[in-house]
Each structure stands twice: as C-alpha cells, then as structure tokens.
Structure 1
Amino acid sequence: MALQWLILTYVVAAEAAVAILLTLPTPKLLRNRITSLFSLILQPSLFIVPFAGFQLLDIYWKNEHRLMCNSEVCTATERDRYEKSIYKAQRNVILCVVACLLYWCISRICKFQKEIQNLEEVEKREKSQ
C-alpha cells in the first residue's frame, strides 16, 4: 500500500510544479508552447482522478472497519498505533483531494490560456481588417 501513496505523492508534486510553471510570467510564445504541451498531457493524466477516488474509498472502508481503541483496556502502544493510523489516513485524504484539485486547476489554466490565445487572434484579425 505504501507504493500507491508514494506514486500519489509524486503525482501531486509534479502537478504542483506544472501549475507553478503555467502561472509564471513568461513571454507569449513560450507560454503558448508550454500550454499546448501540457494540454496534450492532460488527457492521459486523467487517470489520477479515479485513482485518487479509489484511494479515498479504501481509506473510508478501512476507517469503517478499524478496531476502535478508546476503552481502558487498550495499552499505550495500541493507543499510539491507533492515533498514528488516524493521522496517516487524514494525511492521505488531503493528498487525494489535493491531487484532484490540482488536476482541475491545471486543466482550467490551460483552458483559459487557450481562450486568451484565441481572443488575441480574433483581435489581431479585427485590427488588420
């Protein structure tokens, strides 16, 4: 299971880097090339949304079937292990939500950049007429 979370962590880091790269002020030609490149990459990378959703379902299922340790019978180590698993689950939920949110942000940024590019072309055509 740790490999799945490692992959999701790397994907989130890559998405954050792409979002930063897309929002940096760059020359128009470079920005258009970067936007078109990441627009091509967006569709194959859509796998992250169902992958994160599956991971959220897995966290929910494990949370529903987790042994509760809130009685006096539990030892200190059992209580610590329980709390650690709760913290890890919360961290993983945040990771899944951020993966989906960053994917959505990148797709919206690319869409807005393309719309801006199209409007600039229309404006250029109108000025030339």
Structure 2
Amino acid sequence: MALQWAILTYMVAVEAAVAILLTLPSPKALKSRIVSLISLVLQPLLFIIPFAAFQLLDIYWKNEHRLMCTGEICTAAERDRYEKSIYKAQRNAVLCIAACLLYWCIYRISKYYREIQRMEEVEKRFKDE
C-alpha cells in the first residue's frame, strides 16, 4: 500500500513542478515548446484522476470499517495508533485532492496558452491582409 502513496506523492510533486514551469515567465518560443510538450504528456497522465479517486474510495472504506478507539477500554498505545491512522488518512486524502486539482490546473493553463496562441495567429493573419 505504501507504494501507491509514494507514486501519488511523486506525481503531485511532478505536477507542482510542471505548474510552476508553466507559470514562470519565459521567452515566447521556449514557452510554446514547453506548452506543446506538456499538452502531449497530459493525455497519458490522465490516469492520475481515476487512481486518486480509487485511493479516496479506499480511504473512505477503511474509515467506515475502522475500529473505534474512544472509550476507556483502549490503552494509550492503541489510542495513539488510532489517532495516527486518522492523521495519515487525512494526509492521504489531501494528497489525492491535490493530485486532481493540480492536473486540472495544468490542463487549464496549457489550454489557455494554446487559445492565446491561436488568437495571436488570427490577429497576425488579419494584420497581414
């Protein structure tokens, strides 16, 4: 199970780096190449959405079937383990949501940039006529 969370963590880190790369100011030629490369990679990386959704369902299922440790029957160690598992589940849920949100942001940024490029080309054609 830890491998799935490691993969998701690395994907969120890569998505954050790509989002920063897209939003940094750069020359037009370089920016257009970066956006075209990222646009090509976006479709195969769409697997992150169902993967994160499955992980969220897994968190939900485990939360519903988790043994509650709130009474006086539990020892301090059991209570600490229970609280640690709750914090871990919350962290993982935030990670899943961040993966989906960052993918959407990257998609929208690259789409807006392509639309701006098309509008500039249309404007250039009108100026040439």
Q: Name the TM tier (shorter chain).
A: over 0.9
Letter of the structure 2 residue corresponding to residue 101 of structure 1 = L
Indicate yes or no: 2:112 matched with 1:83. no
Kindly provide the amino acid, as one letter, of the partner of residue 82 in structure 2.
Y
SS in 1 for 2:127: helix
In structure 2, what is the Cα distance between the partners aligned to 1:108 and 1:73?
52
Q: CA deviation at 1:22?
A: 0.4
Match in the other structure for 2:3 = 3
- Matches of 2:110 and 2:30, distance apart in 1: 13
The superposition leaves residues 78-115 of structure 1 with CA deviations (integer Å, 9 ceiling, x where unpaired) of 00000000000000000000000000000000100000
CA distance in structure 1 between the aligned counterparts of 2:29 and 2:121, rounded to whole angstroms: 13
| Structure 1: segments with no counterpart, 5+ residues | none
Cα drift, residue 15 of structure 1? 0.2
Distance in 2 between residues matched to 1:29 and 1:62, nearest whole Å: 49
**What stretches of structure 2 of length at least 5 have no aligned partner?**
none
Partner of 1:69 in structure 2?
69
User: What is the distance in 1 between the residues matched to 2:23 and 2:126?
Assistant: 28
Query: Percent sequence identity over matched residues?
Result: 76
The TM-score with structure 1 as length reference comes to 0.99
CA distance in 1, matches of 2:73, 2:101: 42
Shift of 1:31: 0.5
Mapped to 2, the partners of 1:57 and 1:23 lie a distance apart of 32
Q: How many residues align?
A: 129
Distance 2:45 2:60 in 1: 24
Residue 94 (structure 2) pairs with residue 59 (structure 1): no
The list of structure 1 runs, each at least 4 consecutive aligned residues, that deviate by more than 3 angstroms after superposition, is none
* CA distance in structure 2 between the partners assigned to 1:25 and 1:47 by the alignment: 29
State the Cα deviation string for residues 1-45 of structure 1 (Å, max 9, x = none): 000000000000000000000010001111000000000000000
Instruction: Note if 1:118 corresponds to 2:123.
Output: no
Taking structure 2 as the reference length, the TM-score comes to 0.99
Distance 2:39 2:107 in 1: 7
